Amino acid sequence: MTETTLSAPAKPAKKSARPGTLALLLNNSLATGGLIVLALICLIALAAPILPLPDPDVTAPADRLKPIFSEDHLLGTDHLGRDLLSRLIWGSRVSLAVGLSATVIAAFFGSLLGLVAGYAGGRTDTIIMRGIDMVMAFPYILLALAIVAVLGPGLLNALYAIALVNIPFFARNIRGITLGLSRREFVDAARLSGKSPPQILFLEILPNVLPVIVITMSTTVGWMILETAGLSFLGLGAQPPQADLGSMLGEGRKILFTAPHVSIIPGLMIFALVMSINLFGDGVRDILDPRLRAGSLTRPVSRTAVERNKADIPAPSEKQGVLDVRQMRTEFQIGSSVYKAVGGVDLNLQQGECLGVVGESGSGKSVTAMSIMGLVPTPPGRIAGGAAYLEGEDLFAASDRRIRDLRGGSVAYVFQDPLSTLHPLFTVGAQLTEAITTHQPMSRAKARDKAIDLLSLVRIPNARERLDAYPHELSGGMRQRVCIAMALANDAKVLIADEPTTALDVTVQSQILTLMNGLRRERNAAILFITHDFGVVSAICDRVAVMYAGRIVETGTTDEVLNSPQHPYTAKLIECVPVLGEPERRLDAIEGRPPVVNNLPAGCAFADRCPHVQPACRQGEISLDMSSGTRGVRCLFPLTSGASA
Amino acid sequence: MSEMSQNKASQEALLTIEAVERIFGGERKLFGGHNPAVHAVQGLSLDVKKGETLGVVGESGCGKSTLARLVVGLDLPTSGTITFAGEDLTALARKDRNALARKVQYVFQDPVASLNPRKTIRTILEAPLKHLTDLNADGREQRLAELLQAVNLAPEFLERYPHEFSGGQAQRIGIARALAAGPELIVLDEPVSALDVSVQAQVLNLLDKLKDDFGLTYIFISHDLSVVESVSDRVAVMYFGRMAELGPAKEIFRHPLHPYTDLLMRSAPAPGRHDLMSEDASAELPDPYSPPAGCAFAARCGHKTEKCLAAKPAPDEAVSGAKHFAACYHPLGQA
Ligand SMILES: Nc1ncnc2c1ncn2[C@@H]1O[C@H](COP(=O)(O)OP(=O)(O)OP(=O)(O)O)[C@@H](O)[C@H]1O
Ligand code: SF4
Ligand code: SF4
Ligand SMILES: [Mg+2]
């Protein structure tokens, strides 16, 4: 918590304890090492004037080429008898200053060009970017050499040359990002707020581009120092007697075999400097990477970690079925707080059955779906308890290999956005045949035939020709059909569909729903259908489970739940839905917001919004009370049919 | 509610759109020829009366958002005219964008994306007050308080950043921003599509109240028929860049003339509705790069005849009563 406030003193401390910037950086040992080395070098370089060093430029022919650890000359002397330690420190100072200034200049002009090109677009963009392309068409170092040749040798000219050749790099990077940002809605909104183009560019877009500029700078400073050293090495940068790391290296080169330390010492310094800057720069980049920022300190692994109490694994229910989820709990660890996204969910799916899971955004529907096959990213997620049985086999105890085989095999997923499932660079046919052959060894020709069958099965006209289409050549509805075909490729027993029609138009949605409904009848596959739309539930689900704050609050057959909801939340939720043909119906909103799952109240999670709340509701666990085999409600004072919320 | 506001809606047109067309692409290429062109909106004519809510429905890509952007001047029509209260809106958008922004405002579909993630709510809401009104610092402060009150947000939200808000709260901020400069017309582009049903109801109720309080006129765009039905006085159904049907909300939903409107209505899922009408999967939208010569809906229409394939029906080909039109040769429910 203190770290969070420390890194962002201006903002009030947030409720969730996310790791602070410094904590994240220190967690990365390479970056920390880089930072320490870099800080040390910078400190020494800055302190050069006050350190008891001999003048770096005073020659002493009598003392030439003294070895390391000589008296008075800790690092020896060069061919003119100058003290190497002093030259090294003063030289590092110069190299650092030149590298940093070149970076700042390149970043300033490059970003400016990129911002203007990306925002203005059209002709301005074309002209700027063609100019930049021309600069980039020359080999990098050649261009720098040419510039120095024109301007004449000298440290300052070398600096300009290095800055100039790096401008295109910044310009391109920043232009791409600006282009993306200027199509964003907030830019249109600023325009409608009366802001002028320069105001929009510098006050709205620039703050969003700034992190990228910083990242690009931190990853290029090292190279710029190296390039300056290169120019100096060739005698085009620092002029004698001034020392910088490159020129020291260049002077030492002539006597590399007689007195290697004269060149090795600046060489090592360049290495240490560039290496530490790059390690630190990578660390900075990782921190500004929003995904890491979200709290995980390492990249997610391919399967959700299972950390459940071995003694407390629930047995399968009597109902058995294809999929039997028991008391499943999934948590996210973010900083020091734990989000109980799924808090003990029971689901049971029989063959050929379609079970709907409904609930508001953030109620834990997706996490429930993803947990079953271990698709929740770890970190920050983990399965903290419960079990999921696929035909009696405990999925949380299965080996990684087994899970890989089952994914896309017996259990298949269909997601909301088909583009996230389909690879844009491969044809539909290639992706389908791959899905088939990873689970069933067969010849390519046979797999292709099967792919055609699958596409026809999901009612794609001209299946044979469509095999060669790329995802972007298909409409949204077609793409979703392809995803369903892929899910069916290996005779899945369970289809988990997470809002598969939410992004589609109503007419296409009804086609897809009809298709899925037919398929489960034909193939006897069970469907876990996640949606927030009661209309969709009515159309396809046999049973429905309503989720609130990570738990199922009501379950029953679709008709039972829709016609006589017993949980006040379900009743309210149904009343919010506008119905076609009943425009006069007043929409009854639910006041307030769902509780945040890192801080659930004791007792009923809906208590703060419930019109029927009683003191008893806020005390102790409320269990899901099953009144029949299928019907259950988690409420102390359930509504009786007829009464309304 | 629609009964009431219908009476209030005077007959005078606030916004008139006439034969508006917007073509994307089609620029001259460097070496002769043209890039392919898409007609995003074509031959669109319509009036918005003062005080009414005009609902616009249609599938994705049918030109709803293009129409919206044309009305607020974020985009300019390729041809045709848009007049706002007797003034040429296109000319105004070119000459004095701020004058237009004072009269017509916009609410975006994605509430969070429409707020700059690096600005506080105060900065976001102050922008229109600074640039569009001549209020001084005190006046602005007072107006901010009024705005927050109007959209039901606590004053302490002012110092927060957009990511700290839920979708519903973010959309209220978007609405407050649109209200800031006191516009007459607000274009709402799918304002509740990204919200949960419970929150959607809150926002719809809020919009309803604001309309009464501030005497606003709305253009309400949505793909959700039931939402449009519940808020609109009149409805325009768009298909493939053109008007398919236009008429009073009640009539359109009770007696649709156009087969496409009918298809939309039958496809919409509703709680308690088990049967799903579903058309043949091969029925696809026409290719925008080579639009059909006749009715664009013909490929999906069960009523098509030779006539439909030969020439496009006029927007008022079918008429029912004084205010209900459809672009169809063989309208439903008429002999
Ligand atoms: N990768 C993650 N890291 C941290 N928290 C997460 C992550 N994914 C989900 N959560 C949290 O878990 C809870 C449940 O989220 P979930 O995505 O399951 O909701 P949902 O019901 O699917 O909502 P929606 O309707 O918006 O899809 C939320 O509080 C969410 O913030
Ligand atoms: S348990 Fe109490 S507070 Fe919770 S839903 Fe039931 S009546 Fe309302
Ligand atoms: S004009 Fe013809 S094809 Fe078009 S909608 Fe009417 S009946 Fe169908
Ligand atoms: Mg989800």
Distance CA B25, CA B48 (A): 29
Contacts of A540 in chain B (CB under 8 A): 276
Contacts of residue A60, defined as CB under 8 A and 6 or more positions apart, other chains included, come to A77, A80, A81, A82
Say if residue A571 is in the same domain as residue A505. no
**In the predicted model, is pLDDT for residue B164 greater than 70?**
yes
Pocket test for ligand 1, best of A296, A340, A342, A367 (most atoms within 8 A of CB): A367
Say if residue A397 is in the same domain as residue A428. no
Say if residue A359 is in the same domain as residue A435. no
Which candidate in B74, B116, B126 is best for mutational testing of the A interface (most A CBs within 10 A)? Answer: B116
Q: Using a 6 Å cutoff on CB, does residue B239 contact ligand 3?
A: no
Say if residue A208 is in the same domain as residue A287. yes
The tokens describing A537, both together, are 């539930």
Q: Using a 6 Å cutoff on CB, does residue B329 contact ligand 3?
A: yes
Of A256, A276, A293, which residue is a domain's last?
A: A293
Distance CA A515, CA B41 (A): 32
Q: Using a 6 Å cutoff on CB, does residue B74 contact ligand 3?
A: no
> How do residues A196-212 score in pLDDT, each as one tens digit?
999 999 999 998 898 88
pLDDT at A324: 93
pLDDT at B62: 85
pLDDT at A89: 92
Q: Is residue B277 part of a domain?
A: no
pTM of the full structure: 0.81
pLDDT at B30: 61
Tell how strand B324-326 and strand B242-248 pair up. Answer: antiparallel
> How do residues A473-509 score in pLDDT, each as one tens digit?
777 778 888 888 888 888 888 999 998 888 777 887 8
Contacts of A208 in chain B (CB under 8 A): 116-118
Q: Is residue A103 part of a domain?
A: yes
Pocket test for ligand 3, best of B237, B239, B300, B303 (most atoms within 8 A of CB): B303
Q: Is residue A624 part of a domain?
A: yes
Q: Report the nearest atom of ligand 3 relative to the CA of B297.
A: 4
Contacts of residue B98, defined as CB under 8 A and 6 or more positions apart, other chains included, come to A194, B131, B132
**In the predicted model, is pLDDT for residue A307 greater than 90?**
no
Domain containing residue B147: 3-29+37-261
- Confidence label for A297 from pLDDT (cuts 50, 70 and 90): very low
pLDDT at A514: 86
Which A residues, 250 through 269, put their C-beta within 8 Å of a C-beta on chain B? none
Assign B144 to helix, strand or coil: helix
Distance CA A145, CA B15 (A): 63
**In the predicted model, is pLDDT for residue A9 greater than 60?**
no
B17 touches chain A (CB under 8 A): no
The tokens describing B231, both together, are 């808020």
Which B residues, 191 through 220, put their C-beta within 8 Å of a C-beta on chain A? 196-202, 204-205
Q: What is the CATH number of the domain that holds A489?
A: 3.40.50.300
**In the predicted model, is pLDDT for residue B311 greater than 80?**
yes
Q: Using a 6 Å cutoff on CB, does residue A565 contact ligand 2?
A: no
Angle subtended by helix axes A506-523 and B259-267, to nearest 10 = 50
**In the predicted model, is pLDDT for residue A329 greater than 90?**
yes
Which A residues, 337 through 376, put their C-beta within 8 Å of a C-beta on chain B? 360-361
Of A541, A574, A589, which residue is a domain's last?
A: A541
pLDDT at B277: 64
**In the predicted model, is pLDDT for residue A214 greater than 60?**
yes
Q: Is residue A28 part of a domain?
A: no
> How do residues A551-585 score in pLDDT, each as one tens digit?
999 999 999 999 999 999 999 888 888 888 877 77
Q: Is residue B120 part of a domain?
A: yes
**In the predicted model, is pLDDT for residue A295 greater than 60?**
no
In B, minimum Cα distance to A211 occurs at B118
B265 touches chain A (CB under 8 A): yes
Q: Is residue B84 part of a domain?
A: yes
Q: Is residue A2 part of a domain?
A: no
The domain tally of chain B equals 1
Strand partners, A334: A337
Contacts of B181 in chain A (CB under 8 A): 194
What is the distance in A from the centroid of ligand 4 to the CA of B296? 35
Among the partner residues A186, A460, A580, nearest to B268 by beta-carbon distance:
A580
Q: Using a 6 Å cutoff on CB, does residue B295 contact ligand 3?
A: yes
Q: How far is CA B324 from the centre of its chain?
A: 19
Distance CA A156, CA A164 (A): 12
Of A293, A317, A345, which residue is a domain's last?
A: A293
Nearest listed ligand to the Cα of residue B283? 3
CB contact under 8 A, A208 and B268: no
Largest CA distance in chain A: 108
Q: What is the DSSP string of B265-326?
A: HHHS--TT--------TT--PPPTTS--SS-TTGGG-TT--HHHHHSPPPTTSEEETTTEEE
Say if residue A535 is in the same domain as residue A581. no
The tokens describing B232, both together, are 């609109």
pLDDT at A4: 31
pLDDT at A12: 38
Distance CA B94, CA B104 (A): 14
pLDDT at B282: 56
A488 φ, ψ (degrees, to nearest 5):
-90, -5
Assign B200 to helix, strand or coil: helix
Percentage of chain A modeled with pLDDT above 70: 93
| Side-chain-side CA neighbours of residue B52 (13 Å) | 25
Q: Is residue B248 part of a domain?
A: yes
**In the predicted model, is pLDDT for residue B234 greater than 90?**
yes
Could you tell me the CA-to-CA distances from A60 to A49, A80, A81, A242, A261 in Å, in that order? 21, 6, 5, 16, 18
pLDDT at A27: 75
Averaged over B95-102, what is the pLDDT? 91
Say if residue A403 is in the same domain as residue A447. no
The domain tally of chain A equals 4
What is the distance in A from the centroid of ligand 1 to the CA of A342? 9
Contacts of B127 in chain A (CB under 8 A): 190, 193-195
Say if residue A315 is in the same domain as residue A247. no
pLDDT at B3: 43
Say if residue A401 is in the same domain as residue A417. no
What number of other Cβ atoms are within 10 A of residue B42's Cβ? 21
Q: Is residue A548 part of a domain?
A: no
Which B residues, 273 through 292, put their C-beta within 8 Å of a C-beta on chain A? 273-274, 276-279, 281-282, 284-285
Say if residue A173 is in the same domain as residue A248. yes
A122 touches chain B (CB under 8 A): no
Contacts of A610 in chain B (CB under 8 A): none
pLDDT at A183: 84
Contacts of residue B7, defined as CB under 8 A and 6 or more positions apart, other chains included, come to none
Say if residue A155 is in the same domain as residue A241. yes
Q: What is the ipTM of this complex?
A: 0.85
Contacts of B105 in chain A (CB under 8 A): 192
A443 touches chain B (CB under 8 A): no
Distance CA B264, CA B256 (A): 10
Tell how strand B104-107 and strand A323-334 pair up. Answer: unpaired
Averaged over A446-463, what is the pLDDT? 85
pLDDT at B29: 64
Which of A16-25, A226-235, B215-224 is least confident? A16-25
Say if residue A336 is in the same domain as residue A485. no
- Confidence label for A296 from pLDDT (cuts 50, 70 and 90): very low
Q: Using a 6 Å cutoff on CB, does residue B85 contact ligand 3?
A: no
What is the distance in A from the centroid of ligand 2 to the CA of A634? 8
Distance CA B200, CA A74 (A): 75
Q: Is residue B335 part of a domain?
A: no
Q: What is the CATH number of the domain that holds B162?
A: 3.40.50.300
Distance CA A625, CA A627 (A): 6
Say if residue A97 is in the same domain as residue A227. yes
Strand partners, B185: B104, B217
pLDDT at A130: 92
Q: Is residue A1 part of a domain?
A: no
Distance CA A29, CA A18 (A): 19
B1 touches chain A (CB under 8 A): yes
Which candidate in B104, B205, B276 is best for mutational testing of the A interface (most A CBs within 10 A)? Answer: B276
* Secondary structure percentages of chain B, helix, strand, coil, to 5: 35, 20, 40
Q: Is residue A172 part of a domain?
A: yes
Q: Which among A34-38, A377-381, A596-600, B270-274 has the top mean pLDDT?
A: A34-38
Q: Using a 6 Å cutoff on CB, does residue A362 contact ligand 1?
A: yes
CB contact under 8 A, A589 and B117: no
Residue among B274, B269, B276 at smallest CA distance from A542: B274
**In the predicted model, is pLDDT for residue A1 greater than 90?**
no
Domain containing residue A167: 39-51+91-293
In B, minimum Cα distance to A478 occurs at B281
pLDDT at B281: 53
In B, minimum Cα distance to A570 occurs at B198
| Residue B181 C-alpha, separation from nearest chain A C-alpha, in angstroms | 8
Check residues B244 and A408 and name the one with the higher pLDDT.
Answer: B244
pLDDT at A641: 61
